[in-house]
Amino acid sequence: MEKTLLESLGIEIIELQKGRVVATMPVDDRTRQPFGLLHGGASVALAETVASVGAYELVDKEKEAVVGLEINANHIRAKRDGIVTATGTALHQGRTTMVWEIKIEDEESKLVCVSRCTIAVIKVNK
């Protein structure tokens, strides 16, 4: 997606199903903090992206949109380089909110971050 945060951070959606999304993000100069580690904010951006993309697949696109309402994250393991993979699954799908769980892992399937994101479903006038 051009000219978005996804492009800026190198986030790529690699799997998209109803209720499940998988995306990757490089750990490089765009996503590291000054001490050379994956920035927690980059992990949170990846997690919210996964939740938002997944939630959007579950709504009526003619009448509804989705926005992040709340997100939390636990940073479990440091990462200096390579690629992280986020897997998001819908835990709850309601009329006005959704709750997504996102696990971010390294190339060895070691948990780097776990996040939960609440998405608001809003009405749009097209």
Looking at the annotation, which residues are catalytic?
Answer: 48
Q: Quick count: other Cβ atoms within 10 Å of Cβ 6?
A: 18
**CB atoms < 10 A from the CB of 39, how many?**
17
In order of 10, 29, 44, 116, the CA distances from 74 in angstroms are 22, 22, 9, 9
